[in-house]
A = this chain, B = another copy of it.
Amino acid sequence: MPEDRTDYDIVIHNGTILTINETFDIIDNGVVCITNGVFSRIERRRYDRPLPTATHSIDACQGIIMPGLINTHTHVPMCLFRGLADDLPLATWLNDYIFKVEARWLNSENVHLATLLSCAEMMLSGTTTFCDGYFFEDAVASAVEECGMRAVLGQGIIDFPAPGVPDTEKNVDEAAQFIKGWKDKTSLITPALFCHSPYTCSEKTLAKARRLSDETGALFQIHVAETQAEVTRCRQKHHLSPVLYLERIGVLNPLTLVVHAIWVDDADIECMAKRGVRVSVTTESEMKLASGVAPLPAFLDRGIAVGIGTDGAASNNNLDMFQEMGFAARLHKAILLDPTVLGARQVLTLATMGGAEAIGLAGEIGSLEVGKKADLIIVDTSKPHLTPLYDPFSHLVYAASGGDVRVVVINGRIVVKNRKLQTIDIEAVMDAVDDLAHRIASLDET
């Protein structure tokens, strides 16, 4: 047997494991072993036996070892416009700022660059998987692969000329091409489609996209019931709420990820539960845009699979899922005047297994269990704001932030080590984004 023979690719030890399995097992002095990108052994350390040997051995320094966070709704290239315009009415923000800079500045190269930046931000704050919808999604996908992240990526479909898709007649075909191109290409990327909304896509487009989703098994993402105005217009036009309109035209099924779902009533929620749709709630962004407050506790009461997400960095304005957990956990307590709503463990579950279920990857990720894909993070708890530690769930939801993540493993690859990115040159990316932003800010037309 050669001398360098090791038992595992990676062994992580000396930490508290939050499995987020069905029984929420917590393993003190845990050991996690990874082989070929998959968890091969998860157990309490036996001090009467040597630590398993591995190519890479990682000391968790008594921190928390847990599943990577899953961000169920993003538009990752929009970090280019982070803080460009805030505190404005939604229509002003979109029409006078975002749509203009998108039309002017989006191209394959800039989308690729911006995606590298967003992936870096997400990995450094403990997110291992995200679900995105935007344009030039091909460029998003290649950047995600370069970073070594996991993602469900949806090419955008909207019934007006869009960045990269000038001909609206071809928008669903473009999405079909994207799905075909990335299907089974890499285990990191699951192609999907992203219909912008029921008010920007025609019934014909939605039906065509639905067929594409059903034929390919691709996730069908769509913004629904985001604002009161949208619901009013939908009722005027279709005599139905957005949810019931989508139900009537056959869009809703378990492959549908309904994003936002803020202005929904009991009949809508009933329908969503019956159809088995999944929901993504983006609390921070929805608050900042003054869209309203989605009835997240009601979704959970009805057994709907819910994940949480950050939305794009232009409306959030960061991609830190720890912050997102903190907002989701606190907001509904304040609104319902009930401190027992959305406890810490439940919220951490939304950000891990809940997210996996919402985006259709519950069999592969979201918990630390033997056989699942090896996506995990280590949170450094030896910090003043995380001292003392009585309850790890409480700390992760109410006290920690993305900056406390020290190690990130995705698909069995160490992508962040001691808070340093291992897969891309982030300094070069930031410099390039700064240069581009300088031109965007100066409205340079050259």
Contacts and interface: CB of A to CB of B under 8 A. Distances in A.
Contacts of A389: 83, 434, 437
B344 A385 contact: no
B288 A86 contact: no
Nearest to A83: B394
A401 B440 CA distance: 25
Interface in A109-125: 117-118, 120-121, 124-125
Contacts of A402: 385, 401
A113 to B, nearest CB: 11
Interface string A309-328: 00001001111100100110
Copies in the complex: 2
Contact of A437 (B79, B228, B388, B434): B388
Interface in A286-327: 286-293, 313, 316-320, 323, 326-327
A300 to B, nearest CB: 15
Nearest to A262: B334
A388 B435 CA distance: 9
Contacts of A317: 394-395, 398-399
A440 B337 CA distance: 30
Contact of A121 (B82, B84, B384): B384
Given A83-B399, A339-B289, A399-B317, A436 B228 contact: no
Contacts of A79: 387
Interface stretch (A51-59, A87-95, A199-207): A87-95
Nearest to A329: B288
A80 interface: yes
A403 B79 CA distance: 20
Main SS of chain A's interface residues?
Answer: helix
A286 B341 CA distance: 14
A210 to B, nearest CB: 32
Nearest to A293: B334
B331 A334 contact: yes
B430 A338 contact: no
A124 B330 contact: no
A47 interface: no
Contacts of A326: 284, 323
Interface of A: 79-80, 82-84, 86-90, 93, 117-118, 120-121, 124-125, 228, 284, 286-293, 313, 316-320, 323, 326-327, 329-331, 333-334, 336-341, 343-344, 382, 384-385, 387-391, 394-395, 398-399, 401-404, 426, 429-430, 433-434, 436-438, 440-441
Given A289-B333, A291-B337, A401-B402, 20 more contacts: A86-B343, A88-B339, A89-B339, A121-B384, A124-B385, A286-B334, A287-B330, A287-B334, A290-B334, A292-B337, A313-B399, A316-B398, A318-B385, A318-B398, A327-B327, A382-B430, A384-B426, A387-B433, A389-B434, A403-B403
